[in-house]
Amino acid sequence: MRTLFELCKPRKSVFDETKREDVLNLSDLLEGNIECASFFEENYTTGGMQTLFDTAFNRFINQGQTGVVKLTQSMGGGKTHNMLALGLLAANPEFRSKVMTNSGKYKSIGKVRVAAFTGRETDAQFGIWGSIAEQIGKKEVFSQYYTPLSAPGETAWINLLSGDPLLILIDELPPYLENAKAKTIGNSDLCSVTSTALATLFSALGKAQLSNVCLVISDLKAAYESGSELIRNAFKNLENEVNRSALDIEPVGSGSDDVYQILKKRLFESMPRADEINLIAIAYKEEVAKAKQMGLTNIADKLLLVLCINFLCDCFAIRCNVMCDSI
């Protein structure tokens, strides 16, 4: 019987002290800092992620009813990662068949235009709308909304975004809006102007002219619940606008084994088969049974073993056939 050390082969990246841990953001996507092959090799595709892929790509072939997707995650993780995965698949068609279960349905789609904005870029000179316009090569189309900064209307958004399939990713808005609240524009501020611009964008995405455009945004609920009273109102108003038209998707299922699967895929290059795991669990059972006969263990040890075996089986995402009660 092979040992766990022999059966579980960790990835070399696990021992690389220079490798960053889960700190990628949309800026890395825009700057081309993510290597697609290694990204998808080390990451598990959850059910929520697959739903996100299908929702977005259905839009790209003009078959999706939902133009706005809101990513929600009660446990605080997965939203940015899902955006990165979708952005990479949109821009790199050659990886779709390796990751997407319904990739054959979208063979007609080539490289999709991708525009992304992270709220960490608090100094965006021409606002979110200017950043999106620049990324899709139409910066001059919105020139009238730059000086002073003003919110484009629904028709303006339609004129800007129409054309080939387009994916828009907006993440980490809270720091941007917090900073924008302090920037005065006429009798208002940049936070209010931004909220208006996004509200008209959400509305525009419901029009037939933009039926091949998909926008993915992370929810703001946690931010406005903990923020100041002043900014809470702005967040709530914007969240309400999102909720009118958005489909909610949870990237990591809170009631599933997604976390186990994610960790397993991230940490190990190869894993043992179910029958090999069973052999090890049974061996533990037999050794403890011997120890019990020799008076070297007690009921507390038995319970601890049962927990260890169950944990081992859960980590490998299988059900062990060991009858723990017979120990």
Residues 46 and 183 in one domain: yes
Q: Average pLDDT in the 226-248 region?
A: 66
CATH number for the domain spanning 157: value is 3.40.50
What is the count of structural domains for the chain?
2
- pLDDT of amino acid 227: 46
Residue 118 forms beta bridges with which residues?
171
Mean pLDDT, the chain, rounded, equals 82
Of the pLDDT bands very low, low, confident and very high (cuts 50, 70, 90), residue 181 is confident
Query: Domain boundary at 249, 264, 294, which?
Result: 249
Q: SS3 of 32, please?
A: coil
Range of the domain at 286: 272-326
Q: What tens digit of pLDDT does each residue of 91-117 get?
A: 999 999 999 988 899 999 999 999 999
What DSSP assignment string belongs to 271-291?
A: ---HHHHHHHHHHHHHHHHHH
Q: Which residue has the higher pLDDT, 83 or 9?
A: 83
Residue 237 forms beta bridges with which residues?
none
- pLDDT of amino acid 86: 97
Q: Residue 137 has which token pair?
A: 């090569």
Highest average pLDDT, of 183-197, 267-281, 308-322, comes from: 183-197
Residue 16 placed within a domain: yes
Specify the long-range contacts of residues 182-187, CB closer than 8 Å, at least 24 apart.
185/148, 185/149, 185/150, 186/148
User: Longest C-alpha distance within the chain, in Å?
Assistant: 86
Q: What residue spans of 61-186 are helical by DSSP H?
A: 79-91, 96-99, 127-135, 154-161, 173-180
Q: What is the dihedral of CA 268, 274, 280, 285, to 10 degrees?
A: 130
Task: Please check the confidence at residue 75 and state whether its pLDDT lies above 90.
Answer: no
Residues 202 and 291 in one domain: no
Q: What tens digit of pLDDT does each residue of 124-172 get?
A: 999 999 999 999 999 999 999 999 999 999 999 999 999 999 999 999 8
Residue 257 placed within a domain: no
Task: Please check the confidence at residue 319 and state whether its pLDDT lies above 70.
Answer: no
Residues 295 and 213 in one domain: no
Residues 213 and 297 in one domain: no
CA atoms within 13 A on the CB side of 289: 11
Residue 64 placed within a domain: yes
Kind and range of the H or E run holding 114: strand 113-118
Residues 154 and 202 in one domain: yes
Q: Which residue has the higher pLDDT, 128 or 19?
A: 128
- Residue 202 sits at the vertex; the CA angle it makes with 199 and 208, to the nearest 5 degrees, is 140
Specify the long-range contacts of residues 14-19, CB closer than 8 Å, at least 24 apart.
14/267
| Count of C-beta atoms within a 10 Å radius of residue 211 | 19
- pLDDT of amino acid 162: 96
Q: What tens digit of pLDDT does each residue of 201-225 get?
A: 999 999 999 999 999 998 776 554 4
Q: Which residue has the higher pLDDT, 236 or 7?
A: 7
- pLDDT of amino acid 323: 38
Q: What tens digit of pLDDT does each residue of 23-47 get?
A: 788 999 999 999 999 888 888 888 8
- pLDDT of amino acid 234: 59
Residues 316 and 204 in one domain: no
Of the pLDDT bands very low, low, confident and very high (cuts 50, 70, 90), residue 262 is confident
Kind and range of the H or E run holding 69: strand 68-71
